[in-house]
Structure 1
Amino acid sequence: MDMIKGVRVPERVYRGVLWAVSIVFAGFIIGFGNLVIGDLPMVESQVYTAPADDTPAIRAVRDEIRRIGDSKTAIDDKLEIQRLQLEQAQRASGTANETFKAWIAARTATTNPAQDPEVLARTRELEQLKANERSIQQAIANLENERAPLDQRESTLRLRENQLISDAIPAQERAMFWQELRVFGLRLLITLPMLAVAAWMVVKKRKSDHWPLMRGFVLAAVFVFFVELVPYLPSYGGYIRYAVGIVLTFAAGHFLIKNMRAYLAHRQEVEAQAEKERRARVSHDEAFKKMAAKVCPGCDRPISTTGDAEANFCVHCGMTLFDHCHSCNTRKMAFFRFCMTCGTPAKDEVARNDLTPAPA
């Protein structure tokens, strides 16, 4: 025969609604917790608003390097002009020298004494060109000598800048580490107690009338700690997260093992009792649920049968599962309070009514 579920329809609806209430309540707690966790850094003043390489000492060094760079640029511009002038002077001097050599060769061939003054004039002109060339070379050398100390000073300042940055970064990292540690400690100060309260509720308050709301708090606490906290974890925060997960898993495993052993010991104790006492321990709704799942209400083992034989008794503990109505002889579940065919009360129901004292 088909199993009949003993849970009332409104009860199933209420359970679904209560689950929805738990989820909605958890959602609001998660949203509130996310805002609190995200805003926690605001309680701490930021260590630096600028990078580590932007301290006053480093800015002063960089200003001096910038001034040296401007001076070098001005010298480089002058050097470029002087080098162009040197090239022009060298070309002019070279041309004049070649012209003078050609003219001297012609003078030697003609041996004309009247051309001697012109020889002197051309010689002086060539010497002036050479002197101009040497003057430009000296100006270039002076500019290069002026630039060399600037290069040395700039190199020294670069080394000083790198040293200041190297000294500033560890100090900032230490300050940021302690700030990060304080903020993370505040986050743990909120989430860990939530998780501890949630664990206490699971262990102690599962039978409470307000368990649906507590269940929402439990869901929120687990989600906030293991999901919402992840984006805010520092480099070492993963160790804490996994350590807490290991502790919670170990505690849950220990709790389940302990409960399983207590359950098995209790089942053995119950199975040693008479069927009447065991049947009195099983509520009507609980019996319907277990029978619908094809599980014996007395020992929680599967209901076994062979072939076409009707399973009227549990083969493990001997509890009566099905019997016949003493009025119409219809086969029915032994936990029915009334016959589903004729409505006659079951023998257990009649005996229970007989034991109930009449009102005065």
Structure 2
Amino acid sequence: MKAVRRPQFWFNLAMWVMTLVISSLLIQLGALVMSDVPTAGKRISQADFVNADQLADVEHRIVSNDKALLNTQRDIEDAEFVLSSRTLDYTNQRASFENWVKTRSATEADSQNAEVVARAQGIEELKIAERDAQRIIEDLRVTERSLLRTQQDLRTEEYAINDASFEPYQKARSREVLKVFGLRLALTLPLLLISGWFVAKKRGSQYWPVYRGFVVFSLFAFFVELVPYLPSYGGYVRNVVGILLALLFAHFVIKGMNRYLARKRSEEQRPESEKRKAIAYETAVKKISEGVCPSCDRRFGAVKLRKGEKPDEDPVDFCVHCGFCLFDRCTNCNTRENSFFKFCGSCGTPSENDPSAQVS
């Protein structure tokens, strides 16, 4: 059973909406502030620490070497085409000469001796041209291998220039990370301190929904704007910080639980009339309807029965743990009802247990 008034329900809902609106606006404002800090712009890169003159010279030589290599490879393609053409001419002329020689041997004409010599010389010239084309290709191949080796050497030199910039870049990067984290910590830490003060001192205030929006904003700033920029150093710092935060959280949780138990033990020693005045009406009605004692926060329902056992016929009217009165009967109609009800649900008679009706 719910005892919260409908306007109060909608009021609480509206306060949560207001909390989210305030926190979102603060988050947007915080993002604008973070974007204007000196280190929020362009971050340093390894290219900033490279010797620009040496690198430009090497890159220029690489481009020139690549062009020369490309021209050489094209010359090789052209020379291979010439060689193929000359090889074909030589092969055709030699086949034609061999056929002609067979025909001459059949006729044995002396007048053809001069022609034999001329044709043989022509074939030899074609063979020489073919060999010249092969030599051109071989020379181009030598040039190509030389250019390829030069290309490898230039790439190695380029890599060495870039590699030499890595160590100073790492040092500058570490300094930048610390600077960025320090600036963000300087902006975020006051927010966390103010939020902690709000939680400790203003949680019961009527303006708590406004303070709650600031608390949500500060938590967002911590986990989104600060934690990702925490220096790592191989994971050691982040792991140690995580462990410290976990230990801090466990410390406050344990302390809070101990305070809660001590307070409950102290409350159990007080008279029931005083305990009733300290318990909010809506809270008491809700807890009793859920089977929880509003005084000691323990379940007062029957223990889970074993197989074959029967439940008790008489309902529980008092908490079995602290003796707090949970249900009583109307003085007029004897109807069993929640002890915090202000009026009997059957006859409307005012309840004698209503703290607001009691005179001190």
What's the TM-score once normalised by structure 1's chain length?
A: 0.66
1:315 to partner: Cα distance: 6.4
What's the TM-score once normalised by structure 2's chain length?
A: 0.66
**Aligned residue in 1 for 2:305:** none
CA offsets 1:261-313 (integer angstroms, 9 cap, x no match): 3444444445445x3xx6346537636643563366665666789755794x7
CA distance in 2, matches of 1:176, 1:14: 51
CA distance in 2, matches of 1:4, 1:138: 102
Change in 2 beyond 3 A, CA 1:280/1:110: closer
The correspondence for 1:92, drawn from 66, 83, 89, is: 89
**Runs of at least 5 residues in structure 2 that lack an aligned partner in the other structure:** 303-311
1:88 to partner: Cα distance: 3.3
Residues 1:71 and 2:65 are matched in the alignment: no
The correspondence for 1:261, drawn from 252, 258, 261, is: 258
The correspondence for 1:286, drawn from 276, 280, 286, is: 280
Query: Secondary structure at 1:293's aligned position in 2?
Result: helix
Change in 2 beyond 3 A, CA 1:315/1:42: closer
1:25 to partner: Cα distance: 1.7
**Aligned residue in 2 for 1:110:** 108
**Greater alpha carbon shift after TM alignment, 154-163 vs 192-201:** 192-201
1:213 to partner: Cα distance: 1.9
Aligned residues: 342
Confirm or deny: 8 A CA contact 2:2 2:282 kept in the other structure. Answer: yes
CA distance in 2, matches of 1:156, 1:140: 24
**Aligned residue in 2 for 1:355:** none
User: 1:290 is aligned with what amino acid?
Assistant: A
1:245 to partner: Cα distance: 5.7
CA distance in 2, matches of 1:206, 1:24: 19
RMSD: 5.0
Change in 2 beyond 3 A, CA 1:314/1:87: closer
Query: Secondary structure at 1:206's aligned position in 2?
Result: coil
User: 1:63 is aligned with what amino acid?
Assistant: H
Residue pairs, 1:191-210, within 5 angstroms: 191-210=188-207
**Runs of at least 5 residues in structure 1 that lack an aligned partner in the other structure:** 353-360
**Aligned residue in 1 for 2:309:** none
CA distance in 2, matches of 1:198, 1:61: 57
Residue pairs, 1:98-247, within 5 angstroms: 98-100=95-97, 106=104, 110=108, 112=110, 114-168=111-165, 172=169, 175-176=172-173, 178-226=175-223, 246-247=243-244
Confirm or deny: 8 A CA contact 2:87 2:130 kept in the other structure. Answer: yes
1:41 to partner: Cα distance: 7.5
Change in 2 beyond 3 A, CA 1:104/1:183: same
Query: Secondary structure at 2:75's aligned position in 1?
Result: helix
CA distance in 2, matches of 1:260, 1:100: 113
Change in 2 beyond 3 A, CA 1:329/1:73: closer
The correspondence for 2:248, drawn from 235, 247, 251, is: 251
The correspondence for 2:25, drawn from 10, 25, 28, is: 28
CA distance in 2, matches of 1:221, 1:51: 35
Confirm or deny: 8 A CA contact 1:107 1:115 kept in the other structure. Answer: no
Higher relative contact order (CA 8 A, sep 6+): 1
CA distance in 2, matches of 1:350, 1:117: 150
Confirm or deny: 8 A CA contact 1:191 1:225 kept in the other structure. Answer: yes
1:111 to partner: Cα distance: 6.0
Q: Return the index of the structure with the highest Cα Rg.
A: 1
